[in-house]
């Protein structure tokens, strides 16, 4: 802290005020308005919510959103863990290059990265052409507008949010822990299972939570890569607002998503804390 | 898993021509060393001497560029660490923070596929060995540094390895606790008859604990011997300077001498004094004389010796240390033990110094 002293409550508030004000005006106020509308328009009650949960079309979108978010999280974890492990054991140029490889995509527009996937996956795209040239396929395969494509592209876009917490958790494990485990007779797999994995769980939890929550509300990538058949909840909300002008119903969808996200955060915040407690006790 | 060998030599280690290079640097340079079963051997040297690299090669975390390592006659040079069945205690305690003390100690037994009941029983017995019976349910972070290191030792011996490797295990402890642990580890080692290879940069620790000490410098083995041998009869100038306190004085040999023979040394700025040749010297060869402060004597009256001026007298209870300046600006330390009735001196006094030929070791200097 500046000057090395603690701030008084008044000073703390003053310093945080610009951000809090912004949060209030552009986030909390509109959200509250939207939620209010979802409960009182066209008539007071839970009618909009019941509509969202009873209509199979909407229910399917919500379940698909959950499934895709789950698969994206899983894929991101599988891809990110080995990378984070190598990074945590690298130094100097190697670490700088790996770090850049992780962070550069993060600094590039999501739209650009999504279009990159479209270039790769489309009917006459790079992958189809390569497969055809190798003689593996006769006709172009449908890659774009599939759930697999959505999962793959989203996992790629969200990967940094998994790598970074994993990296910091793994970095915190001294090299002597796995060494000690091996001296004590643990095979590399047992060392991972018994020592490294339990010690990096806090990082795994926060990485998974981050990716899962971001994936739930993801808009650009599923809209472009998935198309209408792979519609996720964010696209549905957008459609309700922009095409059907049904703000109250969109508000209900947002309310459901928000309740789900809050429940998850509360649930896992406890889990994360518990892990930290176990880790340090 | 390998069955524990009851063979008496099972705990012996032979290091043959070990060389390990990091780029152009020879971290270990052709070291050969035989460690007997049941022996307590210290690898002693300054940082960068290669002592840790040797230990890590025995452990299996380093693979040598040349040479091999035998354990009980069996070549283990390329065996992965988890299949060597060695015990190891690290510098930092490395107890797994997510397991209780007992779970930590039972960990190697679990890796060896023992049942839960036997694991618990043997872990509790090992905890008793290091006198921490009551602390089995605690987490490592709830223990003091000394307690953590005792648990680490219990964990390293619970599966009865033939050899225990220790990598500066006491360097994180404060002085009193360190001395207590030195004695405790020594007792434990005798009790269970395990071979111990102990890395340290602290010569007192090495001399106190080890049966034999291997002194290393720049990746080379300088001398291997019992603590008394290293102190009384250092074979190289490095060992003479590294073990204990030493005054060095340059001069030239007054006559030719074979190793172990008495030789007169013409000291710079002074006369000819008696010494013992460590290596073969020819008349006129440049030599370095090593003199222990407590072997220097103040001679009475008009005896023949080296004249010197006392610049400072430091009283420290059990001994008095004199700082001396001899002719030619040579600075010397002299230690007079208290209560032995030896002549003392005060600052500013002119004295005459002398020593026994056997207490002055003359090392040949490469021209």
What pLDDT, on a 0 to 100 scale, did the predictor assign at position B367?
65
Where would I find the beta strands (DSSP E) of B218-318? Answer: 220-225, 247-253, 262-267, 272-277, 286-291, 297-299, 306-315
pLDDT at position B8 over 70: no
pLDDT band at A3 (very low <50, low <70, confident <90, very high): low
Question: Would the CB atoms of A281 and B85 count as touching at under 8 Å?
Answer: no
Per-residue CA distances from B240 to A276, B222, B236, B334, B351 (Å): 51, 10, 6, 16, 26
Per-window interface: A 161-200 vs B, CB < 8 A: 174, 176-177, 179-188, 190-191, 194-195, 198-199
The band of B299, judged by pLDDT with boundaries at 50, 70 and 90, is confident
Task: Give the pLDDT of residue B342.
Answer: 78
Higher pLDDT, B304 or B280: B280
Angle at which helices A56-88 and A92-107 cross, to 10°: 160
A75, A77, B143, B212, B361 from A64: Cα distances, Å: 16, 20, 50, 71, 86
Domain boundaries for CATH 3.40.50.300 within chain B: 8-232
pLDDT of residue A271: 60
- For residue range A226-273, what is the model confidence (pLDDT) as tens digits? 878 888 989 899 889 888 888 999 999 999 999 988 888 888 876 655
**Minimal C-alpha gap between A270 and chain B (Å):** 17
User: What is the share, in percent, of chain A residues with pLDDT greater than 70?
Assistant: 94
Interchain proximity A181–B107, CB inside 8 Å: yes
Q: Which CATH number fits domain B245-364: 2.40.10.120, 2.40.50.140, 3.40.640.10, 3.40.50.720?
A: 2.40.50.140
Chain A residue with minimum CA distance to B141: A281
Six token digits for residue B11:
């705990």
Task: State whether B81 and A183 contact (CB < 8 Å).
Answer: yes
Angle between helix B175-192 and B145-157 (nearest 10): 20
How close is the nearest chain A Cα to the Cα of B107, in Å? Answer: 7
CB contacts, 8 Å: A182 with chain B: 60, 80-82
Q: What integer pLDDT is reported at residue B5 of this predicted model?
A: 46
CA distance B319 to chain A (A): 43
Min Cα separation A279/chain B (Å):
5
- Phi, psi (5° rounding) for residue B261? -90, 155
Q: What is the model's pLDDT at position A93?
A: 93
DSSP H/E element including B34: strand B25-35
A36 neighbors A113 (Cβ within 8 angstroms)? no
Helix, strand, coil in percent for chain B, rounding step 5: 30, 35, 35
Token duo for residue A247: 């703000």
B94: chain A residues, CB-CB within 8 Å: 174, 176-177, 179-180
Q: How far apart are CA A59 and CA A198, in angstroms?
A: 36
Q: Rounded to a whole number, what is the distance in angstroms from the first to the last CA of chain A?
A: 28
SS3 of chain A: helix, strand, coil, percent, to 5:
80, 0, 20
- Cβ of B92 and A194 within 8 Å? no
The Cα–Cα gap between A83 and A164 comes to 10
pLDDT digits (tens, 9 = 90+) for B194-244: 999 999 999 999 999 999 999 999 999 999 999 999 999 999 999 999 999
Residue (of B78, B40, B36, B42) closest to B58 by Cα position: B78
What is the domain partition of chain A in residue ranges?
31-280
pLDDT in tens, B42-80: 999 999 899 999 999 999 999 999 999 999 989 999 999
Residues of chain B with CATH 2.40.50.140: 245-364
> What confidence tens digit (pLDDT) does each residue in B306-333 have?
889 999 999 988 899 999 998 778 899 9
Using a 10 angstrom Cβ sphere, with 0-12 exposed, 13-18 middle and 19 or more buried, the burial of residue B170 is buried
Quick one: pLDDT at residue A270? 66
Domain B8-232 maps to which CATH number in 3.40.50.970, 3.10.580.10, 3.40.50.300, 3.40.462.20? 3.40.50.300
* Closest CB from B82, B98, B112 relative to A182: B82
The mean per-residue pLDDT over the stretch A46-73 comes to 92
The DSSP 8-state label assigned to residue A27 in this structure reads I
- Are the C-beta atoms of B335 and B319 separated by less than 8 Å? yes
Interface residue of B85, B98, B119, B153 to substitute, partner A, most A CBs within 10 Å:
B98
Picking from A145, A151, A166, the residue whose alpha carbon sits closest to that of residue A66 is A151
- What percent of chain A is modeled with pLDDT above 90? 55
Interior angle at CA B25, CA B22 and CA B28, nearest 5: 80
pLDDT band at A107 (very low <50, low <70, confident <90, very high): confident
- ipTM value: 0.83
| Six-digit token string for A279 | 């880790």
CATH match for A31-280 among 3.40.120.10, 3.40.50.2300, 1.10.3720.10, 2.70.98.60 = 1.10.3720.10
Could you read off the pLDDT of B81-121 as tens digits, one per residue?
Answer: 999 999 999 988 799 999 999 999 999 999 999 999 999 99
DSSP annotation of B281 reads: B
Q: Which contiguous run of DSSP H or E holds residue B331?
A: strand B331-337
Q: Which residues of B touch A (CB under 8 A)?
A: 1, 59-61, 80-82, 84-88, 90-92, 94, 96-98, 107-108, 110-112, 139, 141-142, 155-156, 159, 165
Distance CA A154, CA B161 (A): 51
């Amino acid at each position: 802290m500046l000057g090395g002293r603690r701030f008084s409550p008044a000073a703390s508030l003053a310093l945080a005020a610009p951000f809090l004000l912004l949060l209030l005006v552009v986030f909390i106020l509109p959200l509250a308005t939207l939620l209010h509308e979802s409960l009182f328009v066209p008539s007071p009650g839970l009618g909009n919510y019941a509509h969202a949960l009873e209509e199979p079309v909407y229910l399917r979108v919500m379940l698909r959103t959950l499934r895709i978010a789950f698969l994206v999280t899983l894929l991101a974890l599988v891809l990110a863990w080995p990378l984070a492990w190598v990074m945590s054991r690298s130094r100097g140029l190697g670490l700088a290059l790996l770090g850049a490889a992780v962070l550069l995509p993060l600094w590039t527009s999501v739209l650009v990265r999504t279009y990159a996937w479209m270039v790769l996956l489309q009917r006459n795209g790079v992958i189809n052409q390569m497969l055809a040239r190798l003689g593996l396929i006769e006709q172009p395969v449908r890659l774009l507008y599939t759930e697999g494509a959505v999962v793959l592209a989203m996992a790629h876009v969200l990967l940094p949010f998994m790598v970074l917490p994993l990296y910091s958790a793994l970095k915190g494990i001294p090299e002597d822990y796995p060494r000690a485990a091996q001296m004590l007779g643990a095979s590399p797999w047992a060392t991972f299972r018994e020592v490294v994995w339990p010690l990096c769980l806090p990082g795994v939890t926060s990485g998974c939570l981050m990716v899962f929550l971001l994936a739930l509300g993801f808009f650009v990538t599923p809209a472009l890569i998935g198309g209408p058949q792979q519609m996720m909840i964010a696209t549905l909300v957008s459609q309700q607002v922009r095409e059907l002008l049904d703000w109250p119903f969109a508000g209900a969808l947002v309310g459901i998503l928000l309740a789900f996200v809050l429940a998850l955060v509360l649930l896992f915040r406890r889990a994360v804390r518990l892990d930290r407690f176990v880790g340090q006790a | 898993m390998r069955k524990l060998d009851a063979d008496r030599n099972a705990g012996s280690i032979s290091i043959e021509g070990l060389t390990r290079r990091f780029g152009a640097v020879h971290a270990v340079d052709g070291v050969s060393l035989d460690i007997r079963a049941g022996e307590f051997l210290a690898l002693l040297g300054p940082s960068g001497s290669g002592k840790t690299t040797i230990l890590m090669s025995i452990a299996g975390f380093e693979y040598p560029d040349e040479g091999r390592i035998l354990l009980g006659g069996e070549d283990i040079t390329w065996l992965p660490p988890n299949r060597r069945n060695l015990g190891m205690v690290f510098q930092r305690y490395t107890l797994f923070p997510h397991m209780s003390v007992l779970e930590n100690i039972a960990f190697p037994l679990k890796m060896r596929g023992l049942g839960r009941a036997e694991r618990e029983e043997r872990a509790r017995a090992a905890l008793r060995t290091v006198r921490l019976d009551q602390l089995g349910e605690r987490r490592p972070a709830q223990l003091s540094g000394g307690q953590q290191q005792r648990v680490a030792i219990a964990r390293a011996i619970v599966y009865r390895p033939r050899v225990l490797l220790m990598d500066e295990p006491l360097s994180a402890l404060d002085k009193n606790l360190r001395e207590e642990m030195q004695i405790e580890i020594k007792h434990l080692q005798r009790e269970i008859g395990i071979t111990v290879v102990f890395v340290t940069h602290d010569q007192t620790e090495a001399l106190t604990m080890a049966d034999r000490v291997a002194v290393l410098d720049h990746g080379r083995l300088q001398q291997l011997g019992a603590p008394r041998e290293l102190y009384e009869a250092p074979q190289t100038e490095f060992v003479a300077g590294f073990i204990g306190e030493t005054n060095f004085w340059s001069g030239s040999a007054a006559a030719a001498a074979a190793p172990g023979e008495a030789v007169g040394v013409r000291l710079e700025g002074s006369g000819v004094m008696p010494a013992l040749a460590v290596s073969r010297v020819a008349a006129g060869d440049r030599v370095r004389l090593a003199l222990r402060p407590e072997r220097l004597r103040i001679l009475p009256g008009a005896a023949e010796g080296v004249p010197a001026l006392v610049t400072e007298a430091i009283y420290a209870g059990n001994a008095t240390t004199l700082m001396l300046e001899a002719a030619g600006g040579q600075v010397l330390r002299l230690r007079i033990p208290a209560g032995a009735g030896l002549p003392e001196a005060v600052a500013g006094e002119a004295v005459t110094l002398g020593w026994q030929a056997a207490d002055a070791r003359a090392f040949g200097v490469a021209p």
